[in-house]
A = this chain, B = another copy of it.
Amino acid sequence: MSDTPTLVLASRSGVRAMLLENAGVSFRVEVSPVDEAEAKMGFEGNGTALAQHLAELKAQAVSAEARDQFVIGADQVLTCDARLFDKPRDLDEARKNLSFFRGKTHTLHSAVAVARSGKIVWGHVTQAHLTMRDFSDDYLDHYIRRTGEKILSSVGCYQLEGPGVQLFERIEGDYFTILGLPLMPLFDYLRKEGALET
């Protein structure tokens, strides 16, 4: 083996690309459309199983055309009080969701899957549990005004590495799970397969 096999990230998420890039990994991005809404509608299962299912769909959709390259799919699902939450469509919906999350613990389910030649060859799901404090309505307005549309790219309507941290009183779970790409188990798998230096 002379060359390291190429990695393909099957995700539109700028955060996931940034995580891989910062980690010093070479990859290219390729995305095939997956009907997430349909997958969610027809899906019977918990948040963990749904995140895994969507990560696999994304990896497989690209892998069919990518030969034996390692295609990485990922997904993140948020559940709170047994309800599933999607990214907010606008700031009004973000406000509604944040009011719902306030004073409660929600769970982020982060899944990553790898496909080769159209078949899923590996997968991993982790959870993080995050408890929002009982912030005031004024604080919420102020937060939304300050952060603006940035929060629309997150299922939880926050960036923990930004002012979002002030919404929380307790966080259990690692950084990569919260950002939506469990890097360590992924890298462990890729090293075993010779796709990353050891």
The residues of B that contact A168 with a CB separation of less than 8 Å are 184
Interface extent on A, as a size class?
20 to 34
- Within 8 Å of chain B (Cβ to Cβ): is A161? yes
Which residues of A in the span 116-140 have a Cβ within 8 Å of any Cβ on B? Answer: 133, 135-136, 138-139
- Give the number of copies in the complex: 2
Cβ contact within 8 Å between B175 and A187: no
| A135 and B165 within 8 A (CB) | no
**CB under 8 Å from chain B, chain A span 142-165:** 142, 146, 160-163, 165
Instruction: Mark A89-111 against chain B: 1 for CB-CB distance below 8 A, else 0.
Output: 00000000000000000000000
A198/B24 contact (C-beta < 8 A), A175-B175, A183-B165, A184-B171 known: no
Whether, in the assembled complex, A193 has its beta carbon less than 8 Å from a beta carbon of chain B, the answer is no
Set of chain B residues within 8 Å of A198, measured between Cβ atoms: 135-136, 139
B197 touches A23 (CB 8 A): no
Contact A162 B197 (CB under 8 A): no
* Residue of B with least CB distance to A191: B133
Interface flags, A160-198, vs B, CB<8A=1, else 0: 111101101111111110100001100110000000111
**Chain B residue contacts of A170, Cβ below 8 A:** 184
